[in-house]
Amino acid sequence: MPGKTIDHAFTATGLTSAATDPTYAGALSFMRRRFSKNVSGADVVVWGIPFDAATSNRPGARFGPQAIRRASAIFDNDPQYPFDRDLFAEMAVVDYGDCLLDYGNHHETPATIEREASALIAKGAFLLTLGGDHYITWPLLKAHVARHGPLALVQFDAHQDTWFDDNRRIDHGSFVARAAREGLIDTSRSIQIGIRTHAPEDCGIRILYGHEVEEMTAGEIAETILGHTQDAPAYLTFDIDCFDPAFAPGTGTPVAGGPSSAKVLSVLRRLQGLDIRGADVVEVAPAYDHADVTAIAGATVAMYMLGLRAERLAEGR
């Protein structure tokens, strides 16, 4: 097979080349990007945070980064739908691997994540994180805000994550309340999409509940997001349980009554105008998955995030 290679994650000679690995073989980096701890020249850095000690229900999201990388091999490096472009023709992307965490000292976890994320962001690259449970967004927000200032939070989720927090808890259900209280997020420009549970407070954040999402078109949802954020720099966080469990069964706290993957992906496609400074996909727990349904959904969400980034870079933004 002249001109073709395998194990592109290790054999790639540049950061923008397409891979030729079969979808069923080869080293499983995210979308076959080169594994490297050298992020020099990278427009985007993808990394994983395999942490799930903050879950309130079923654990297992520590295996999320592995599952998302494995599922991403299904993207065969043709122009990616619906962006109709080779995402890596001009956008240099590195898979940095995973954050090393000490499973016996969880109190050190937030500082470790924040420190490593800050070092990557300081290199000037866009950081796309694969979780891990939703607690990881707390230290990620701290790292991004240190560089960009307070951000609008655009959160796709079944849960508000605004439960009580004593500033010490390691809890995936309270990070939004802490971020709001400490001024990390601009609550007047923040929005949550797909919420299907109740929490004690909304922290002044706009909510699109599950029944509203069901009744709105994808275009109406996207217009609401863009109209509410009003060009503010934003952090995009996507909890896979935003999808109905029919489309994402492999997660720790599934909630019935959610939107389809088709509808939410259509919303994401319409967010070209959102000034995304960082993003994550969290709560993929493959032990509860079937036929990689959830992992494929998570990998697709992450691919859409890269597609939006590629379009903004192409436009010089």
β-pair type (34-35, 93-98): parallel
241 a known binding residue? yes
Phi-psi region of 189 (alpha: psi -120 to 50; beta: other; left: phi over 0): alpha
The crossing angle, in degrees rounded to 10, of helices 261-269 and 293-314 is 10
Q: Residues 1, 61: contact at Cβ < 8 Å?
A: no
Tokens coding 257: 């009554």
Q: What is the largest CA-CA distance in the chain?
A: 62
Q: Residues 271, 250: contact at Cβ < 8 Å?
A: no
Residue written as tokens 């499983």?
28
The closest alpha carbon to 31, from 132, 128, 101, 99, belongs to 128
Q: 195 - beta bridge partners?
A: 209
134 a known binding residue? yes
Residues contacting residue 262 through CB under 8 Å, at least 6 positions apart? none
Residue written as tokens 């990070």?
175
Residues contacting residue 303 through CB under 8 Å, at least 6 positions apart? 31, 72, 75, 80, 87
Residue set of the binding site for Mn(2+)? 134, 157, 159, 161, 239, 241
Residue set of the binding site? 134, 157, 159, 161, 239, 241
